[in-house]
Amino acid sequence: MISRAFLWLRDNRASVRAAFAMRIGAMGISLILGLVFPPMLVRAMGDNLYGLYQSFLDITRLGGLSDLGMGGSVALKAGQYLGKGEGEKLRELLASARSVFILLALLGFAGFFILSPWLPRWLTFDRISGTGSLRLLIIFGGLNVAFVILAGYFHSLNFALGTVTWPIVPGLLISQLLAPLAHVWLAIHQAPLWLQFTPYALATGLSGILAWLMVKWAHPWLGNLRPLGFNRTLWKLLAGTSGWFYLATLGNAIYFATDRPIIYAGFGGFAVNRYRFNYKLGELATTMILTASFVSIPKITQWVASGRPEDRQRVILEANRLNIVQIILGCGAALGYLAINDWFVAWWQGAKYQAPLALQIAFAMNLAVTAGGDAGIQMAARCGENGIRNMGIAVGATGLLNLALSFLSMRLGYIVGIAAATVLAQAILSLSLGWLTCRHLKMPVLGWSLKSCLVPVMVVGLGGLIRMGWPLDSLMHGFLLIASYAAILAVAMRVSGLNREMVAKEWKVLTNMVGR
């Protein structure tokens, strides 16, 4: 049985549908683990300390930007060289890339180490007792950043190779199970925060080692650690792409890693926890839905780079299929979130953590808009020589818009505005990059925009109005709500272009894959 499982993984290591199915399974397990560990940590640490810790994690995530976009640059260039069959050029490029990653990892750690005496005070972390040495916490955060950068080199190669199935199980076991288990044990024994963080730093390092082994198993020469190259021309080539990737990554980090520090500064640790707990279901659903593009993009990148007419047609078909699937999944998940989130939060953490309906509608809107526009956003970076530049500018600009509006909302004491700022910025990003994708692939812009942005907004808007009118206080209201949501989703499926033929085709592909 085990040998057959390994053979199946080997045969389907680059299968988009296998990876998507496995990631959905991993998301299910992550959901269960995510329900178990946070309540245990809140009880062991308290609201204020746990809120501080969550804000610190976002700071380390921002520190991971110290790779300056090199991971995305290597993934893109490696995919293009592989698509063109230019193996020797790829060898030379990777030799120089390895030296850059080592240098950036050292600089990332040095930055945290140098700032460690002052950063806790700047972030107001020193107002909470029971933290232990905050300077050591920052230093270990820097160590984790270095591990993230080094591991990013091998993760980017796996992505370029299309190895999207193998990394799922190790990542789940190490990062989602073993590290949180160790964290809970340390928190119960009231260990200082820097010690509670060490399991995650070790998990990051181990994940990087496994990513390197996966590259060697698939393509041994791509997993070489030497030689280290110092070719200035190749460094310039990587930097020309990585700068735009960095801007895009920075914008994404602003979207996902600044809300909690802003909320902590303006509203305190309890507000951070309530905000996070109420978006838990939305976060899991978003991650699952975006997986569809994550596992599809490696092949799309190579098809775009090949330049053959038949591959261009495959790109258009795959882009439309991916867009429709993500729109429907996003709308369905958003309506489901509105229907059950109050019950879920009360059951999981307690009624005191339930959020106002306006905040939940903003979270649902963010989920649906993010999912609906993701295909166009991801495709834009692969369209033409200026694709990544366009993506970097758009993501960076909308990320800064999100940050400015979130900060303004915090200063005004309006926490719902922080979530609404993300919705507005994400909608602008989706429309702008979707337009660039359509223009490059010669697809109808209006139809794509209506499907990707307007449909999610209308679906969640109607769902929110119905939820206001029919509170879940009786069985009849619950039945009416579910029936209304089903009708709304059916209309959205029709408008988005999902039909019986597409469903039957996907089902046939999946059953054939499982049969093998």
Residue 513 has what pLDDT? 43
What are the domain boundaries of the chain?
1-247, 258-516
Residue type, 401: L
Residue 515 has what pLDDT? 47
CA end-to-end distance (rounded Å), the chain? 14
3-class DSSP state of 46 = coil
Digit-coded pLDDT (tens) for 338-382: 988 988 888 888 888 888 889 999 999 988 998 888 877 777 766
For residue 245, which of 96, 34, 74, 11 has the smallest C-alpha distance? 74
Q: Which residues are CB-contacts of 365 (< 8 A; sequence separation ≥ 6)?
A: 334, 423, 456, 457, 460, 461, 464
Q: Sort 423 into a burial class: Cβ within 10 Å, 0-12 / 13-18 / 19+.
A: buried
- Report CA dihedral (398, 281, 164, 15) to the nearest 10 degrees: -110
Using an 8 Å Cβ cutoff, are 240 and 182 in contact?
Answer: no
Residue 365 has what pLDDT? 92
Label residue 227 left, alpha or beta by phi (over 0 means left) and psi (-120 to 50 means alpha): beta
Using an 8 Å Cβ cutoff, are 178 and 199 in contact?
Answer: yes
Residue type, 510: L
Structure tokens belonging to residue 345: 């939060």
- What is the Rg, in whole angstroms, of the alpha carbon atoms belonging to the chain? 23
Q: Sort 80 into a burial class: Cβ within 10 Å, 0-12 / 13-18 / 19+.
A: buried
Q: Say how far apart CA 182 and CA 436 lie, in whole Å.
A: 46
For 367-378, b/e burial (b = at least 16 CB within 10 A) is bbbbbbbbbbbb
For residue 452, which of 330, 336, 291 has the smallest C-alpha distance? 330
Contacts 24+ apart (CB under 8 A), 348-351: 348/35, 348/39, 348/277, 348/280, 349/38, 349/39, 349/42, 349/273, 349/277
Q: Give the predicted TM-score (pTM) of the model.
A: 0.64
pLDDT along the chain (516 residues), means of 10: 53 53 64 77 82 79 66 69 69 79 86 86 72 85 87 76 61 79 88 88 85 74 74 70 61 64 78 84 79 62 64 73 85 90 86 88 90 80 68 80 87 87 88 82 80 88 87 75 88 79 58 47
CA 22, distance to chain mean position in Å, is 16
